[in-house]
Amino acid sequence: MAASPLSGAAGWESRREARWHRHGERLGAVLPLPSVLIAGVLACHRSAECLARGQTLYRPRVSSRATVACPGCGGPFPNIVGPIHSYVPSSPGCWNTLGEVQADEIRRFGYDPAHGLVVDAYMAQHPGDGTDRRDRQSVFVHLIGLCVRLEQHTSYHLVPDLFQRVLQQRSDFPVLSRSHGPGLLTVVHMVGASDSPEYERRAREWGNAVWESWSGEHERIRRALHATTQTP
Ligand SMILES: [Zn+2]
């Protein structure tokens, strides 16, 4: 078995590579497939097998097989030229994959209840260095989102109002420290969900992995959330 460009750098990376390939296998059953994800399949450590299957079904828009590690989530994504968010550090390939996942979500499921959880997971998994206030705010607020959705099971209808209250009550946000690596799952985990319940299940798995990677900040986030909800 050929080693992937990132395998062996760290234990979690090699495990994630294996998971990445399992997603690639599932992708073949889902039509239509965002072209960028084909490049993700080609990047896996059994790429020759995937290529043989993929070429019979799809014509990738991304021609290069080269991948780069996303600076936020660490996942290998196609080395494409494209837009990125101004203060959410990600590779163009990773950012593009999020866009593809959300477009596919809206097309197939409408505004899915898991939509916000996907956004929270992605943003919390792509923190900046904290020098930009918008970056600090983004990580803080989206960790609040993960906390209320995953621990308190707050209805997704109520989360936007909660975010608004957090923003109204704070003029600045602390620099938070991620306890571990970015986690075993990335936005690729969301690719190929067969229906809305599976999409939500995957979003919860990804969200829990991201939330756990910030375990050292859990109490701070819970206290902030408690203060917000206790303030009239
Ligand atoms: Zn990423």
What span, in angstroms and rounded, lies between the C-alpha atoms of 114 and 36? 22
Please give the distance, rounded to the nearest whole angstrom, from the Cα atom of residue 215 to the centre of ligand 1: 20
Please give the distance, rounded to the nearest whole angstrom, from the Cα atom of residue 89 to the centre of ligand 1: 8
Please give the distance, rounded to the nearest whole angstrom, from the Cα atom of residue 163 to the centre of ligand 1: 23
Please give the distance, rounded to the nearest whole angstrom, from the Cα atom of residue 227 to the centre of ligand 1: 31
Helical H segments across 115-175, by residue range: 115-124, 133-150, 159-169
Please give the distance, rounded to the nearest whole angstrom, from the Cα atom of residue 90 to the centre of ligand 1: 5
| pLDDT at residue number 222 | 96
What span, in angstroms and rounded, lies between the C-alpha atoms of 53 and 51? 5
221 pLDDT above the threshold of 80: yes
CB 33 within 8 Å of CB 60 = no
Tell me how far CA of residue 85 lies from CA of 67, 82, 90, 174, in angstroms.
Answer: 19, 10, 7, 21
Tell me how far CA of residue 93 lies from CA of 103, 136, 172, in angstroms.
Answer: 15, 23, 31
Residue 113 sits at φ, ψ, to 5 deg, of -55, -25
114 pLDDT above the threshold of 50: yes
Q: Which of 18-22, 116-120, 141-145, 227-231 has the lowest mean pLDDT?
A: 18-22
% of residues, the chain, pLDDT over 70: 72
Please give the distance, rounded to the nearest whole angstrom, from the Cα atom of residue 121 to the centre of ligand 1: 11
What span, in angstroms and rounded, lies between the C-alpha atoms of 167 and 133? 12
Q: What does the pLDDT average to over 104-117?
A: 93
Q: Which of 197 and 18 is assigned the larger pLDDT?
A: 197
Please give the distance, rounded to the nearest whole angstrom, from the Cα atom of residue 229 to the centre of ligand 1: 31
Tell me how far CA of residue 4 lies from CA of 41, 70, 185, in angstroms.
Answer: 12, 15, 17
pLDDT tens digits, 56-75: 223 335 545 689 999 999 99
Please give the distance, rounded to the nearest whole angstrom, from the Cα atom of residue 82 to the centre of ligand 1: 14
What span, in angstroms and rounded, lies between the C-alpha atoms of 28 and 93? 20
pLDDT tens digits, 183-203: 899 999 999 999 999 999 999
24 pLDDT above the threshold of 60: no
Please give the distance, rounded to the nearest whole angstrom, from the Cα atom of residue 63 to the centre of ligand 1: 20
Closest CA to 206 of 49, 109, 54, 97: 97
Please give the distance, rounded to the nearest whole angstrom, from the Cα atom of residue 31 to the centre of ligand 1: 24
Mean residue pLDDT of the chain comes to: 77
What span, in angstroms and rounded, lies between the C-alpha atoms of 142 and 133? 14
CB 87 within 8 Å of CB 132 = yes
Ion ligand 1: residues, Cβ under 5 Å: 70, 72-73, 90, 94
Q: Which of 16 and 204 is assigned the larger pLDDT?
A: 204
